[in-house]
Amino acid sequence: MSRYNFRESEQKWQRVWRERGSFAAHTAARPKYYVLEMFPYPSGKLHVGHVRNYTMGDLVARYRRAQGFNVLHPMGWDAFGLPAENAAIAGNVHPALWTRDNISTMRGQLQRMGFAYDWSREIATCHPEYYRHEQKMFLDFLKAGLAYRKESWVNWDPVEHTVLANEQVIDGRGWRSGALVEKRLLAQWNLRITAFSDELLAALETLDRWPERVRLMQEKWIGRSEGARVLFGVAGRDEAIEVFTTRPDTLYGASFLALSPHHPLAQRLAERDPALAEFIAECDRLGTSEAVIEAAEKRGYRTPLEAVHPLDPARRVPVYVANFVLMEYGTGAIFGCPAHDQRDLEFARKYALPVIPVVLPPGADPATFEIGDTAFVDDGTLYNSDFMNGLSVPKAKRAVGERLEQSGRGERTIAYRLRDWGVSRQRYWGCPIPVIHCARCGIVPVPEAQLPVELPQDVSFDAPGNPLARHPTWKHVACPACGGAAERETDTFDTFFESSWYFLRFCSARAATAFDRAAAEYWMPVDQYIGGVEHAVLHLLYSRFFTRALKRCGYIDLDEPFAGLFTQGMVLHQTYQSENGEWLFPEEVQEDATGRLVDGEGRRVTIGRLEKMSKSKKNVVDLDAIVDTYGADTARLYLLSDSPPERDLEWTAAGIDGTWRYVNRLWRLVSEPAVPLPPVGRAIPPAVPAEIVVVRRATHKTIAAVTDDLEKFHFNRAVARIRELTNALEDMPVDEPAAADALREGLEVAARLIGPMMPHLAEEMWQELGHTTLLVDEPWPKPDPQLVQDETVTIAVQVNGKLRGTIDLPRDAANSEVREAALALPQVARMLAGKAPENVIVVQNRVANVVIGRA
RNA sequence: GCGGGCGUGGCGGAACUGGCAGACGCACUGGAUUUAGGUUCCAGCGAUGCAAAUCAUGGGGGUUCAAAUCCCCCCGCCCGCACCA
């Protein structure tokens, strides 16, 4: 029995496609389709998670191509980033070389998978030919007021002299140095994404081919909330504290004010109050991560200040500095109303502050209503609130807003959670920010003619700090304005900068400008973007902003870069640990004679949790080994078939084995057909036996179902349908007349349908079936409408909603006919016992429910 | 903490707009073929039960002729939280 020779076949077809330029995209009159997968960071080797992503993208690209679309399907490298620098520090290899080698490895792996990319458009963002254009964009943003410099807080590692990412801060210490992290204020470049807050929020509604959850996450991230700014006086001082609140209606329930540790007033007080300074320092040790801050125990420091209530000057409330108040949101100060906010309530209980209810729940008695452990946060009727008494919450908000505005003690306003995008990084391996600092002229943009500002090659990583800043000559330049001695900016861009416009570069990857406008206007927006849900907010929001910023600067007339988005799940694998707790690679684990899992030396191995594949836990599979053993197509089909694409997938050895067996079954069906096949192109006789019609129906139903499934990204279901068709073809009644014709029809359909998933095998099948064309150039099959619908349907018969039997009737039979047939079923008749049913509900072609009185 | 999501046999999952729960596969069991292993083929496979039947979609409640699907409460797990990409 022959096995499918994937080694020969995959190499052969990859060569044929390459030689024919099958996947090169050109602008054309045909309708375009731009398929894009989130490009990888070249971290070393391709990860199975990447392959899952690209397999889906390839399926879409090949499917749309077969449907006659002019498809653009490019690939490139998000090549700047921290890991290259870490490798340089750890392994004494230059980031550029490390990156180049990784790209070369990973490109080879992608090519082995047979993905239909237009390789002539490959880009790597670390090349000056790429990043020079974003330097120009930055200068344009600067002119347009979309880029500016401001001080912001960062995690500082005092040993390494570097800024740390939140993920590099572990329990308040630098991940490598172990030093206690400090917070520092640093002048940083920012992009004014908040200028587009409303637009970015409103346009989410237009993204109807985006997952609901991603739109929701972005909506919450932008976090528009209507509220008020309220001025509290400070007793005995000529000073005011401005707070932002979404609940100005609860102002009479205020029992304290809380300032962010970074609030200017808090900082000023700390200068003369060592205990407060120590409290602030403690808060700072939490780092900048919002998750850590919010999860930490809520703590406050009581300052000697008392705030004067804006609506009642006789009332005073204490002023705290609290670790949970963020300087970045609102005004960096809040008023606490414990009765109607859970966090405030916990704070009030802890520091024995009064809890004054001012909103009465519907039906509650004002004389007895009290707040226990739970704040009342819903709508109700205001009381204890002077002029607001008796109003509902929305009406009270309006009333207090007007009152504050009249008295000059505040105003209604809208706050966003969204903050401007800090793009400065104190790192070497990134795109240099093209400005020059001159002692006389201040900040001077690098003249466009001098772009790109290239990274110096000769840098060292053997000392702490940013190698760019330490470089002996690079930063020293003449000021373009006055000609005097000046210094380059040594910060580089956040790597999200590169990924915020790469989809535009792909439209004309070798253009002398950032992109050719006509090409971009032809290809954009991306019709189908595919990537991990972990990018749901940052990358996707930055790209949406960037596109708008480019529009404002006259680059392109486009608002939304991604018309369709699909977010796929992760690839998980079992973890294994040895007796001493070390992680083990899957291939280090075996079964012993008794079926227990052991390592190479026969020691007991414990099975850990199912987790995302990661190098640190060693629960990874080697892609090259998989492709060596099973071939690219088997890996591709397995990744598509085992789980719904949006859900996580567990990689198992048994799973890929099963897929490999199917690949061979499919190949045998074509290479060793049960009956000799008729020649290519012979028409199927008009009249064939009923047994053959059944198979032909299966074939055409499969076309319809698979097409529908692919449209809806139900790839696992599409694979199941094709397997059902294969089962039907294996059971072909070969002795019937025209069986061979129906078999050829079914096999050709199977090859076409499986083409986007297993392109090499499909091409091989197509050739084996006698075709001289390339399957990749064949159109997508269309089902015969006559053969898609069955003539009879099976209708479920229920009694009181419980299945009691089924009846076969012609499709679309009259309700009366269904009713009669249902009542005639012996099981039903028995339960009726001669009585008439109370009701019979008939759902066409589906169900008949006989309702019998239960009395 | 906040925001988002998920939960169906031993396992991955299927089930359209509320209409036959378990398609398709993995694993397993029995049988056939094979020198052996593997492959291949046939049959079985949610639970209890001889059967009739009953019970089953994380748990509890509700709406409905009918609920995996809609509503309320609870539990568990996963993802994101702004300098990882």
* A827 beta carbon to strand B: under 7 Å: yes
* A201 beta carbon to strand B: under 7 Å: no
Kindly tell me if the per-residue pLDDT of A124 is higher than 90. Answer: yes
Chain A 583..622 CB hits on strand B (< 7 A): 609, 612
pLDDT value for A122: 97
Kindly tell me if the per-residue pLDDT of A688 is higher than 80. Answer: yes
pLDDT value for A380: 86
Find and list the nucleotides of strand B having atoms within 7 Å of a protein beta carbon.
1-6, 11-15, 19-21, 23-27, 39-42, 53-54, 65-67, 78-85
Residue A591, φ and ψ in degrees, nearest 5: -95, 135
Mean pLDDT of chain A: 90
Those residues whose C-beta lies under 8 Å from the C-beta of residue A370, and which sit 6 or more positions away, are A357
Distance CA A277, CA A282 (A): 9
Kindly tell me if the per-residue pLDDT of A369 is higher than 90. Answer: no
* A798 beta carbon to strand B: under 7 Å: yes
Kindly tell me if the per-residue pLDDT of A648 is higher than 70. Answer: yes
pLDDT value for A595: 60
Mean pLDDT value of segment A433-442: 96
Kindly tell me if the per-residue pLDDT of A110 is higher than 90. Answer: yes
Least confident of A33-42, A65-74, A362-371, A751-760: A362-371
- Name the percent of chain A lying above pLDDT 90: 60
Strands A225-234 and A424-425: unpaired
- Identify the sign of the CA torsion A827, A831, A834, A836: negative
Query: Which band of pLDDT confidence, cut at 50, 70 and 90, is reported for residue A778?
Result: very high
Distance CA A820, CA A841 (A): 12
Mean pLDDT value of segment A25-34: 91
* A846 beta carbon to strand B: under 7 Å: yes
Asked if residue A744 lies in contact with residue A769, where contact means CB atoms within 8 angstroms, the answer is yes
Kindly tell me if the per-residue pLDDT of A497 is higher than 60. Answer: yes
Task: Single out the residue of A141, A771, A671, A73 nearest to residue A435, CA to CA.
Answer: A141
pLDDT value for A592: 64
* More confidently predicted of A139 and A594: A139
Residue A804, φ and ψ in degrees, nearest 5: -120, -10
pLDDT digits (tens, 9 = 90+) for A73-100: 999 999 999 899 989 988 889 999 999 9
> Identity (one letter) of the amino acid at A621?
V
The β-bridge partners of A233 are: A240, A308
Mean pLDDT value of segment A284-300: 81
CA A803 / C1′ B48 distance in Å: 19
Question: Which pTM value belongs to this model?
Answer: 0.92
Mean pLDDT value of segment A445-455: 95
Task: Single out the residue of A234, A232, A236 nearest to residue A310, CA to CA.
Answer: A232
pLDDT value for A598: 74
Query: Which band of pLDDT confidence, cut at 50, 70 and 90, is reported for residue A534?
Result: confident
pLDDT digits (tens, 9 = 90+) for A609-640: 677 777 777 777 888 999 999 999 999 999 99
Kindly tell me if the per-residue pLDDT of A287 is higher than 80. Answer: no
Query: Which band of pLDDT confidence, cut at 50, 70 and 90, is reported for residue A855?
Result: very low
Distance CA A124, CA A358 (A): 60
Mean pLDDT value of segment A215-238: 90
Report helix, strand or coil for A713.
coil
Query: Which band of pLDDT confidence, cut at 50, 70 and 90, is reported for residue A107?
Result: very high
pLDDT value for A593: 61
pLDDT digits (tens, 9 = 90+) for A663-675: 999 999 999 898 9
Kindly tell me if the per-residue pLDDT of A854 is higher than 60. Answer: no
pLDDT value for A596: 66
Query: Which band of pLDDT confidence, cut at 50, 70 and 90, is reported for residue A680?
Result: very high
Distance CA A165, CA A40 (A): 20
Those residues whose C-beta lies under 8 Å from the C-beta of residue A195, and which sit 6 or more positions away, are A146
The β-bridge partners of A410 are: A230
Name the nucleotide nearest A223; use CA and C1'. Answer: B3
Query: Which band of pLDDT confidence, cut at 50, 70 and 90, is reported for residue A605?
Result: confident
Tally of CB atoms within 10 A around A846 = 11
Asked if residue A646 lies in contact with residue A713, where contact means CB atoms within 8 angstroms, the answer is yes
* More confidently predicted of A58 and A532: A58
CA A648 / C1′ B22 distance in Å: 21
pLDDT value for A599: 75
pLDDT value for A591: 67
pLDDT value for A640: 93
Kindly tell me if the per-residue pLDDT of A808 is higher than 90. Answer: no
Mean pLDDT value of segment A276-288: 86
CA A645 / C1′ B6 distance in Å: 14
Chain A 424..463 CB hits on strand B (< 7 A): 424-426
* More confidently predicted of A836 and A514: A514
pLDDT value for A164: 85
